[in-house]
Amino acid sequence: MSTTQIWVAALMTLACYSYLYKENVFFRFAEHTMIPIAVAQAVVTTYHQTLIPYKNTYIVKQGWWWMWIFFAAGVLFYTRLLPAKYSWLARYPISMQVGWTLGSYFSIAPRPYVVQMLDAIRALYNPAAKGAYLMRFENLLFFLMFATAMMYFFFTIGGKSKLVGVAGQWGRWILMVGFGASFGNTVQGRISLFLGRLSFLLTSWLKIKI
């Protein structure tokens, strides 16, 4: 980055941090700078990295003129911004996208979840898989924790069955362990974000060696 860019970056950073004291005009200016550049980035990279290469590769070289039909369907998305007389036209591309996603959910999307389910019950169908007793015990413990955590979500049965109710209570504690682990890692993540900005301000802007 040039010196001017570094100064602009530093001032924008400080404008953003001023929000911690209270909302102010500098923060609003920073906000209104960030949004248009982000939106423009999506448009420009899509244009140069996908639209033009695909047009050249498939439409120009291979003669796949029918791709323009899909492009025109995509343009129908903009009718959402028009009055109700025309906005229903956006349903066509939406339904194409939704259908395309639906098809994957009933074919290929379950694949990683099946792998996880099989791994969860590994202790039951392949107890000697890893060999070591500690590993076998851990796999069994994992399965019990997984099963009780699943049972927590059996809301309709939990009230009627004592087993599901008690197991669900244990499952709730297992979920709490997960949330605690998430919180612990989140603290590290958030502090890292600030440290990144701090290192920029100290090294690049103020030229302090760290």
Partner 1 sequence: MRKEVPFIISLVFAVWRFCLEAFDKMYNYKLPSGDLLRNASAYAMTFLMCGAALLGTLNLLRIHGNNIRRRRANWIFSAYLLALLIWQIAIGIATSHTGAIYKWPYDAAYLPLDATMFSLLAFYIASAAYRAFRVRNIDAAVMLVVAFLVMLGNVPIGQAVWGRTAFLGGFEGVKNWILRVPNAAGNRALTLGIFLGIMATQSRMLLGIERRHLGQD
Partner 2 sequence: MERFDQINPRVIYLLLAVFLVFPVLKPIGMPISIDPQLTQPVFNWIEGLKPGDIVIFDVAYGGGSDSELGPQLKAWFYHCMRKGVKVVGVAQWDTGAPLAYTAVKEVVAVLESKGISAKEGTDWAYVGYKAGGATVFRAMQDDFWKACGNTDWNQKNFSQSPLLAQVKKWDKATIKGFICYSAGSPGIPTYTTYFPDQDLYVGDVAVQVAGTSNLLRAGQVKGILAGLAGAAQYEKLVGVPGLGVKLMDAQSLGHLVVILLVVLGNVGYRLKMRAGKKRAA
The mark string for 80-99 relative to partner 2 (x by CB under 8 A, - otherwise) is --------------------
Output the six-digit token pair for 160: 């009627």
Question: Can residue 118 be called a binding residue for partner 1 (CB under 8 A)?
Answer: no
Q: Which stretch binds partner 1 (CB under 8 A): 91-99, 122-130, 156-164?
A: 91-99
One-letter amino acid at 106 equals: F
Closest approach, Cβ 145 to partner 2, in A, equals 12
Residue of the chain from 23, 24, 33, 124 that contacts partner 1 (CB under 8 A)? 33
Query: How deeply is 123 buried, as exposed, middle or buried, from its count of CB atoms within 10 A (0-12, 13-18, 19+)?
Result: buried
- The residues in 164-203 that bind partner 1, with binding defined as CB under 8 A, are 171-188, 190-191, 193-194, 196-197, 200
d(CA 84, CA 196): 47
Q: For residue 84, what are its two tokens?
A: 């109700």
Which of partner 1, partner 2, none interacts with 172 (beta carbon under 5 to 8 A by kind)?
Answer: partner 1
Q: What whole-number distance in Å separates Cα of residue 23 and Cα of residue 177?
A: 36
Angle at 129 between CA 128 and CA 130, to 5 degrees: 100
DSSP state of 47: I
Interacting positions 2-41 with partner 2 (CB under 8 A): 20-21, 38, 41
Q: Is 20 helix (H, G, I), strand (E, B) or coil?
A: helix
* Interaction of residue 186 with partner 2, rule CB under 8 A: yes
Span 104-133, contacts to partner 2 by CB under 8 A: 104, 108-109, 111-112, 115-116, 119
Give the interface size with partner 1 as a residue count (CB under 8 A): 113
Q: List the Cα angle 96/98/104 in 5-degree steps.
A: 105
- Strand ranges inside 74-148, DSSP E: none
The residue count of the chain comes to: 210
Contact with partner 2 (CB under 8 A): which of 33, 49, 87, 126? 49
Nearer Cβ to partner 1, position 136 or 150? 150
Site for partner 1 in 38-77 (CB under 8 A): 38-51, 54, 58, 62, 64, 66-67, 70-77
The answer to the question of residue 140 lying near partner 1 (CB under 8 A) is no
